[in-house]
Structure 1
Amino acid sequence: MVESFIVLISATALLLGSPGPAPLALAATGATFGIKKGIPFLAGILVGLSVAIVGATAGLAALFSQFPSFRVICQVIGGAYILYIAFKIASAPVIDSHKTNIAPNFKDGFILNLLNPKAYAAFLAIFSQFLLSFSDSTIGYIVTGFTCLMVAALVDTLWLMFGGLLRPIFSNPKQARIIRVVFAILMVIAVVYALV
């Protein structure tokens, strides 16, 4: 069982920690607005991820295979929203210590992961390949899902902190704009990659 947990944790960290829309948005939020202002966004992302976990275990794969157009619609809506978040990050004003910047909030994070096709694909892969074996399969799903959520919380917090480490660079307006635009472009690439 210990080996199964290690494999599950490793697979989850790789799938959810790889640069995708949510991790890149977290890093950009930490860099642009700071770690403290990014916490509500992180919380929203994790709650949205919880919905993705439940959706994956409740048979979203079966729904998508029976109604392929529903999957495409979800992907397009999700991709559009992620592009909106990328624009919000890229176009954020230069940091002014006397002004309060409006960071992405809980709702933004929740919607981002609720509509993030990468999250659903990752959990469908995890539950089909790395489901923990218990005598009661319901317990297996619950423990696997909870383990994934804890790994995601750690990985996403690290992405937010990584962005926070870049925050001092943002005192230079030119560097700040370049970094925000690079993060936004990476988010767009992640969306395109997920949709292809």
Structure 2
Amino acid sequence: MTSDTFILVTTISFLGMISPGPDFILVLKNSLSYNRKMALLTCLGVITAILVHMSYCVAGIAVLITTTPLLYNALRYAGAAYLIWLGIKALIASKPNTTYIGKQQNKPSISAKSAFIQGFLCNLLNPKATLFFLAIFTQVLNAKSSTMDKLIVAIIIGIEAVFWWPFVVFIFQTQSVQWRYFRIQFIIDKLLGIILITLGIKVTLGV
């Protein structure tokens, strides 16, 4: 794997991870509603689901490349189209008015099992997460990619998840951090949009 590919995977996967979506909203909600242990268990559920995605991406992409090149290419172009669509959506999105600043809600606690399952199912059953991870794999890998290359992509995404989701729990305990994050959320969306569109066009043109 080249250094450019490494940087690309690291950047696009991280920007996609920090861009608010169902996982982010759930982790944030549980961080504000329950104690830190329950919020971290929700994170663990999300991370476990991401590892499941990584497993079938590594195994599935390898099989497609070796046995069904036509299907792999179709999936690759579909992934490129999906990335372009996500990029356009991010670019045209208006500045969000939503704020999560406020006092911690006084809700009854949930069980450790429920907290974990919430995070796990939220990510695992989200079709956008599946498409996003498949899109990343199909854009940076090809027939010449080694098993180690595939594992490196999976490890990069896994490490980012392990650090990012618990970090969300810890930082969103204060109003000042919440306020600063949502001020730059608009910029993050635009940056992600530009990167996604550029990558999708590059694949479509065969560059």
* Short-chain TM bin: 0.5 to 0.7
Note the C-alpha offset of 1:81.
5.9
Note the 1:118-157 alignment, pairs <5 A.
Answer: 118-124=136-142, 128-129=144-145, 131=146, 141=147, 145-146=150-151, 148-157=153-162
**Which structure 2 residue ranges, 5 or more long, are not aligned?**
32-38, 108-117, 202-207
Q: Equivalent residue for 2:102?
A: 96
Q: Deviations over 1:103-145 (max 9, x none)?
A: 8931366642434422222233xx725x3xxxxxxxxx4x765
Letter in 2 for 1:193: T
Q: Deviations over 1:147-172 (max 9, x none)?
A: 65344322432344565675467536
Note the 1:1-196 alignment, pairs <5 A.
Answer: 14-17=7-10, 19-20=11-12, 22-28=13-19, 33=28, 36=40, 37-60=42-65, 62-64=69-71, 67=74, 71-77=76-82, 79-80=84-85, 93-99=99-105, 105-107=122-124, 111-116=128-133, 117-124=135-142, 128-129=144-145, 131=146, 141=147, 145-146=150-151, 148-160=153-165, 167=172, 171=176, 174-196=179-201
Q: Which is worse superposed, 30-39 or 186-195? A: 30-39
Work out the CA distance in 2 between the residues paired with 1:39 and 1:85. Answer: 27
Q: Which is worse superposed, 186-195 or 37-46? A: 37-46
| Equivalent residues of 2:87, 2:197 under 8 A apart | no
Count of aligned pairs: 170
Work out the CA distance in 2 between the residues paired with 1:98 and 1:169. Answer: 10
Work out the CA distance in 1 between the residues paired with 2:177 and 2:150. Answer: 42
Note the C-alpha offset of 1:57.
0.6
TM-score scaled by length of structure 2:
0.54
Q: What is the percent sequence identity of the aligned residues?
A: 11
Work out the CA distance in 2 between the residues paired with 1:71 and 1:9. Answer: 20
Work out the CA distance in 2 between the residues paired with 1:66 and 1:123. Answer: 11
Work out the CA distance in 1 between the residues paired with 2:87 and 2:46. Answer: 13
TM-score scaled by length of structure 1:
0.56
